[in-house]
Amino acid sequence: GAVVSQHPSWVICKSGTSVKIECRSLDFQATTMFWYRQFPKQSLMLMATSNEGSKATYEQGVEKDKFLINHASLTLSTLTVTSAHPEDSSFYICSAHSLTGDEQFFGPGTRLTVL
Amino acid sequence: GNSVTQMEGPVTLSEEAFLTINCTYTATGYPSLFWYVQYPGEGLQLLLKATKADDKGSNKGFEATYRKETTSFHLEKGSVQVSDSAVYFCALTLTNAGKSTFGDGTTLTVKP
């Protein structure tokens, strides 16, 4: 089956620093990737839709200048949390939409802790 | 708009008990329906899916049938195991949009 990886799987950083999270589709091409945020014991909140070669589409209430998304190729999207603060601590999950079909394939998630 | 409503949890069952997790949806158009499972500290894994009315998705003993008339996609398993303990998410996707709408998740705990 299709595999999506995320790196790093966890990161701890100081307040004010920026953190980059990578999402890769390992054995398929994905023109569209999605970034989600999940708080403990809660559902996934869609943050943005990342389209290869174009600007990301952000959901209402998500600060695009704080959560920078770059979809540089058909297999890689990155999410950069700029000037991170403790309230940005969360579990970030990406998914990749296959070129054919309607299924999303999810990465294993990245646990971000901002001190 | 689109929405997914899941049975509230948590759900606690004894091993070998019958499981039902209810899921209903509202959607503009004809969505595909999914059940995902999330184990602690991990991402989501697709459990099963159905793409049109009356389709039955099945995997690892779990089943769900796409019921257009009742806009439902209830998850069932005849005999749960301790290893089934996880959070289960119902979701829909409109094929021309790609974005998924998720339910709030239902935590299942199976005790030996």
Structure confidence by residue, pLDDT tens digits, B25-74: 999 888 999 999 999 888 889 999 999 999 999 999 999 999 999 999 99
In B15-105, at which residue ranges do the beta strands (DSSP E only) sit? 19-21, 23-26, 32-38, 44-50, 56-59, 62-65, 75-77, 86-93, 100-102
> Could you count the other beta carbons within 10 Å of the beta carbon of residue A75?
18
The pLDDT, as a whole number, for residue A102 is 64
Rounded mean pLDDT, A75-89: 95
What's the DSSP call for residue A42? Answer: S
Instruction: Give residues 90 to 109 of B whose Cβ lies within 8 Å of A.
Output: 93, 95, 98-100, 102-105, 107
- Determine contact: B45 vs chain A, CB below 8 A: yes
Cβ distance A104 to B105 less than 8 Å, yes or no, reads no
Nearest-CA neighbor of B62 among B48, B72, B50, B73? B48
Q: B99: pLDDT confidence band, cut at 50, 70 and 90? A: confident
- The percentage of residues in chain B with a pLDDT greater than 70, rounded to a whole number, is 97
- Determine contact: B41 vs chain A, CB below 8 A: yes
Cβ distance B32 to A102 less than 8 Å, yes or no, reads yes
Phi and psi at residue A8, to the nearest 5°: -80, 170
**Mean pLDDT of all residues in chain A?**
90
